[in-house]
Each structure stands twice: as C-alpha cells, then as structure tokens.
C-alpha cells in the first residue's frame, strides 16, 4: 500500500485509483497513445500484449472475443482463433484497434 501513491484516472472523470508509479505511468501512456490514434470509448480492441489483461478496461474498450489474448505463447493462435469464432467478433474485427 505504501507504494500506491500516484493518483491516476482509470476512466477519466469516472474513476481514480492510487497506484505504484510504474503502473500509473503505463495507464497514462496508454490513454495518451490511444487518444492520439483516434481511439474512442467503446471501440473494439484486440489485445495481443500477453502482459496487461486489464488494459482494455482501462481504455473503456470493447474486447473482441476475449478481454486478453495470451500473446507470446505457443498456444496463442489456437486460443485466439476460438475466441474470434464468434460472429460479433468477426464483424467487429475490421473496426478494431
């Protein structure tokens, strides 16, 4: 708890958390990069990071198929293919980030 000193808006204007400096910096950068690239709340996103399963929720994104794909492991393509097999995911893929 003593390291959770850096206030950061998770969803700007709606929720704020006190986090470790490194985590808060990651969230601020995520908001900056997504805004600079035209992302809008509710846009579909496919997260292939394999390291940050909460990122889409921090962005207020709509996950494509699943909230987080297991990037960087051998089974990732199989998992992703199954997750994207849903009709709504396939239709949204062309609009996603």
pLDDT band, very low/low/confident/very high, at 92 (cuts 50, 70, 90): low
pLDDT tens, position by position, 27-39: 999 999 999 999 9
Reported pTM:
0.69
- Are 97 and 49 in contact by the 8 Å Cβ rule? The answer is no
What's the CA gap between 36 and 55, in Å, rounded? 16
pLDDT tens, position by position, 79-88: 666 666 665 5
Between residues 97 and 18, which one has the greater pLDDT? 18
Give, rounded to a whole angstrom, the gap between the first and last alpha carbons of the chain. 34
Burial of 41-62, coded b for 16+ CB within 10 Å and e otherwise, reads eebbbbbeeeeeeebbebbbbb
Strand extents, DSSP E, 1-97 = 6-11, 15-19, 44-45, 62-63
């Amino acid at each position: 708890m003593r390291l959770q000193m850096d206030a950061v808006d998770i969803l700007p204007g709606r929720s704020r958390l006190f986090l470790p400096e490194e985590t808060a910096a990651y969230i601020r950068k995520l908001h900056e990069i997504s805004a600079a690239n035209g992302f809008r709340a509710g846009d579909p996103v496919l997260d292939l990071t394999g390291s940050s399963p909460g990122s889409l929720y921090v962005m207020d994104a709509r996950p494509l198929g699943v909230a987080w794909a297991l990037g960087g492991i051998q089974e990732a393509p199989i998992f992703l293919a199954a997750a994207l097999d849903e009709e709504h995911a396939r239709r949204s893929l062309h609009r996603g980030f």
